[in-house]
Amino acid sequence: MVFSSLLFVFLFFAANIITQAVVTDIRKKNIVMLSFSLVFYAWAGIRFVPLLLLMTLICWASALLISRRQRQEEKKRILVLAVVLVLLILGVFKYTGFFLRNVQLLLGFPKVIPAIALPIGISFYSFQLLSYVIDVYRGDTEAQEKYWLLLLYASLFHQCIAGPIVRYRDVNHDILHRKVKRTELSRGITRFTVGLAKKAVLANGCAAVVRDVFGIAVDGDLTAAIVQGTPVTGMWLVMLAYTLFIYLDFSAYSDMAIGMGLMCGFHYKENFNYPYTADSVTDFWRRWHISLSSFFRDYVYIPLGGNRCSKGRHIFNLFVVWGLTGMWHGASWNYILWGLYYFVFLVVEKYLVDTGRIPRPLRHVLTLLIVGFGWILFRFDGSGQLLPAVKGLFGLNGNAFSALSIRLVFQNNLFFLLFCCLAATPLAKTLGNMLRNLSQRSAAWLTVYGVWDAAMPVLLLVLSMMSLAGNQYNPFIYFQF
């Protein structure tokens, strides 16, 4: 079940909202929310539910033991054990195949590599649980005495599958004392419908452009032959469409999660801040997947010493963080290369180039080119696709510069892609704020704003449902991570 489906919107989530409104006792409300969350998670694979229960149990028990110990050495040992166990479980499911494939290439064994299914959302909820145990150890939050409440935190269906990565200390009060305000309910509905339209109309439309160029789905299995045969203009069109797609798709999920949270009394932090308006790689990563960046900053980068150390040590700290960032996204060398790719540019910006001397428009263009090329590294894996994809951008595969089919795809989608580019900027938000400010100055503008504020969610919902009709299963790209 995905957020962008008729089943989810009109049955599952509608039932959840109704029960949350009808049930007033907070304990019963939490029981209902936990039940919905476990059903939602089990829908993707009931065999993975015990793993979620186990990892939550490990972190719940570890946090309780830490909170009840007096000696710092004992607390640290418990913390280390919990971190090792969680990362070991994550590693077994996510990286065993990757490790064995590389051993097989080097040593010729094992002959058979076991196929281990990746539990959906494990990268997200494992990091949430780790942040909880570490925060208890640091004294930043109190240990939760009730296992089922920690399980509720780990499994909240709004964000369990693909983020944002929520810290327990940020939602503890909401779990225990939440109340839904009318203004927040309205904001939540608007935010949810914006995210739904962003996914159903814009992200899926960008995915269709990639499909029209390659002949397969945006996340389908490519072959080197397909990549090598794609003209130069086709590769650049794919880079543009995929760059827009991955932002619109992932930020749409975060929008919907934040909106659903508001409708239920939860306050999740922002996960994106218009990253394609950045004028440096450093600025881009302050705006992209903020919850993941802040996790690595607070739990890896700063404990390693951050930037309050020698130049060599600082570069090493960045290397570790960005190597791990790449690994977190997937068990493949192209993801690791993607992470280290950003490590190089961050070091260049920090120590080699004074970006402040470059005119801002040029900085912005250069940043977009760096990010767009980075998505090529991200999308094409190391099984014979990545090098042809990079070479194909510059016609080094012997591929043609253009083709009639590519020109038709571009012409048919030109205005749509331009609209998507505008959707990746704060233009709509700025216009909305202007209309809100005007509504405070006169009754006429207040009426206009009231009509717009009430009509927009309905229009977006109708538009989304029209786009989703006959296209029920359209998962978010970050489900696979």
Do residues 290 and 143 both lie within one domain?
no
Amino acid 242: pLDDT = 95
Which of 158, 289, 314, 329 is catalytic? The answer is: 329
pLDDT band for position 436 (cuts 50, 70, 90): confident
Amino acid 383: pLDDT = 63
Amino acid residing at 446: L
Average pLDDT over residues 44-57: 92
Residue 480 has pLDDT above 70, yes or no: no
8 Å CB contact between 439 and 211: no
- Work out the percent of the chain whose per-residue pLDDT is above 90: 68
Q: Is 203 among the domain residues?
A: yes
Please choose, from the candidates 476, 420, 481, the residue with its C-alpha nearest in 3D space to the C-alpha of residue 250: 476
**Which one-letter DSSP state was computed for residue 306?**
T
Residue 473 has pLDDT above 70, yes or no: no
pLDDT band for position 216 (cuts 50, 70, 90): confident
Residue 224 has pLDDT above 80, yes or no: no
8 Å CB contact between 204 and 469: no
Residue 453 has pLDDT above 90, yes or no: no
Greater pLDDT, 196 or 219 = 196
- pLDDT tens per residue, range 172-196: 999 999 988 888 999 999 999 999 9
Do residues 222 and 171 both lie within one domain?
no
Question: Can you give the pTM of this predicted structure?
Answer: 0.93
Average pLDDT over residues 79-100: 94
What backbone phi and psi angles, to 5 degrees, belong to 402?
-150, 180
Residue 446 has pLDDT above 80, yes or no: yes
Do residues 155 and 291 both lie within one domain?
no
Question: For the chain, what is the domain count?
Answer: 2
**Which one-letter DSSP state was computed for residue 442?**
-
Active-site residue 329, yes or no?
A: yes
**Which one-letter DSSP state was computed for residue 167?**
-
Do residues 271 and 147 both lie within one domain?
no
Q: Is 474 among the domain residues?
A: no
Tokens of 255: 């929008």
Do residues 242 and 163 both lie within one domain?
no
The last residue of a domain, from among 117, 142, 177: 177
Residue 472 has pLDDT above 60, yes or no: no
The last residue of a domain, from among 124, 157, 177: 177
Q: Is 443 among the domain residues?
A: yes
Q: Is 76 among the domain residues?
A: yes
Do residues 244 and 325 both lie within one domain?
yes
- Work out the percent of the chain whose per-residue pLDDT is above 70: 97
Amino acid 59: pLDDT = 97
Residue 233: which domain range?
184-468
Average pLDDT, the chain: 91
Do residues 65 and 197 both lie within one domain?
no
Residue 330 has pLDDT above 90, yes or no: no
- pLDDT tens per residue, range 140-163: 999 999 999 999 999 999 988 887
Average pLDDT over residues 68-88: 95
The full DSSP string for 193-226 is HHHHHIIIIIIHHHHHHHHHHHSS-TTS---HHH
- pLDDT tens per residue, range 229-283: 899 999 999 999 999 999 999 999 999 999 999 999 999 999 999 999 999 999 9
- pLDDT tens per residue, range 13-38: 999 999 998 998 999 999 999 999 99
Amino acid 324: pLDDT = 95
Amino acid 115: pLDDT = 84
